[in-house]
């Protein structure tokens, strides 16, 4: 590792990007390049081109994305597919144009078919229909994977291009969005139960049946895995991947039903009321457990289990409520 390399983290203010920044700083990297949304519009090709041309980073992490839960994906499908395709296409192409050899694209477990065999392995990509509630986001992320693979296949040997993709499972932890209709499930549940406890509510109603199962990983584990993959020797990386299937799953290795998750969060928050489920609302995919055997074989394992992670997350929520509220209002 060259700790003086210039590293650009796209999306550094988001949950994933800020976790990657923390991990890189812990390791001793000194030249971390960042730009806020107001400073650099990643959907603007000319702006991205000028930025990378001027900065000339040695590595790029693409953690920037338009993200949200079921409600946001269902309400804004055009925004999700357009903005995400533009962001990744601009960064990846301009990285290639200006000689960036190392790049890591962060995708999502939603790239896999709705009814993919569980646990979902990397080779299940493009083998069936996607979950309709987040199809636009999933298609954009699949395009990012294939764009990385395209540059590797066409220029990998000739120009030593090495663009990798990792597919994290559902994430939670510092930097997540609270107090927002676009929140993901864990911050949404933490907020709901905390407010219910604070206001003495007897009942909390949750979308869906509660039967759907999801896998969750603490974002600090994800950041550790992302840096691990970025710096893994090329020969070792391609022993477990191929040019046409180069993405790697990043999961915890276990899942939990939404009903069990809700009960666990209610207990951690201290809410003692009734939890009911609104079956008129969608569950999303019935199950989303990732096969993380490739990343495990490559030498990486997660460290933060769901119980520890939820306790840490609720403590951070309590300590950071004013800024969490302000960030979520800005993101809504």
Active site residues: 137
Tokens 């999801």, located at residue: 214
**What residues does 120 pair with on adjacent strands?**
290
Q: What is the rounded distance in angstroms from the CA atom of residue 70 to the CA atom of residue 57?
A: 35
Q: Which residues of 88-102 are buried (b: 16+ CB within 10 A; e: fewer)?
A: bbbbbbbbbeeebbb
3-state DSSP of the chain: CCCCCEEEEECCCCHHHHHHHHHHHHHCCCEEECCCCCCCCCCCHHHHHHHHHHHCCCEEEECCCCCCCHHHHHHCHHHHHHHHHHHHHHHHHHHHHCCCCEEEEECCHHHCCCCCCCCECHHHCCCCCCCHHHHHHHHHHHHHHHHHHHHHHHHHHHHCCEEEEEEECEEECCCCCCCCCCCCHHHHHHHHHHHHHHHCCCEEEEECCCCCEECEEEHHHHHHHHHHHHCCCHHHHHHHCECCECCEEECCCCCEEHHHHHHHHHHHHCCCCEEEEECCCCCCCCEECECCHHHHHCCCCCCCCHHHHHHHHHHHHHHCHHHHHHHHHHHC
Which candidate, 121, 99, 91, 97, places its Cα nearest to that of 109? 121
Among the listed residues 331, 310, 313, the one whose alpha carbon sits nearest the alpha carbon of residue 321: 313
């Amino acid at each position: 590792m060259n700790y003086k390399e210039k590293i650009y983290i796209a999306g550094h203010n988001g949950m994933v990007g800020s976790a990657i920044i923390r991990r890189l700083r812990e390791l001793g990297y000194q030249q971390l390049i960042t730009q806020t949304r107001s400073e650099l519009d990643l959907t603007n090709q000319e702006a991205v081109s000028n930025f990378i041309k001027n900065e000339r980073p040695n590595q790029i992490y693409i953690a920037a994305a338009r993200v949200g839960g079921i409600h946001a994906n269902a309400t804004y499908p055009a925004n999700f597919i357009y903005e995400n395709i533009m962001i990744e296409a601009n960064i990846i192409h301009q990285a290639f144009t200006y000689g960036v050899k190392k790049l890591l694209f962060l995708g999502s477990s939603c790239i896999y078919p709705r009814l993919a065999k569980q646990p979902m392995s990397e080779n299940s990509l493009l083998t069936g229909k996607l979950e309709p509630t987040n199809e636009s986001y999933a298609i954009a992320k699949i395009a990012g994977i294939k764009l990385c693979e395209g540059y590797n296949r066409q220029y990998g040997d000739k120009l030593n291009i090495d663009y990798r993709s990792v597919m994290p499972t559902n994430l939670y932890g510092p930097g997540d969005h609270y107090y927002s209709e676009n929140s993901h499930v864990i911050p949404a549940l933490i907020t709901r139960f905390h407010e219910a406890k604070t206001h003495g509510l007897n009942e909390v109603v949750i979308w869906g049946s509660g039967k759907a199962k999801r896998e969750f990983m603490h974002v600090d584990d994800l950041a550790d895995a992302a840096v691990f993959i970025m710096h893994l020797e090329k020969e070792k990386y391609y022993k477990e991947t191929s040019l046409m299937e180069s993405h790697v799953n990043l999961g915890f290795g276990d899942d939990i039903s939404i009903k069990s998750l809700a009960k666990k969060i209610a207990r951690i928050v201290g809410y003692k009321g009734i939890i009911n489920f609104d079956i008129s609302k969608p569950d999303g995919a019935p199950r989303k457990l990732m096969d993380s055997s490739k990343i495990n074989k490559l030498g990486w394992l997660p460290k933060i289990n769901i119980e520890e992670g939820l306790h840490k997350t609720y403590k951070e929520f309590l300590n950071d409520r004013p800024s969490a509220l302000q960030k979520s209002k800005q993101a809504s």
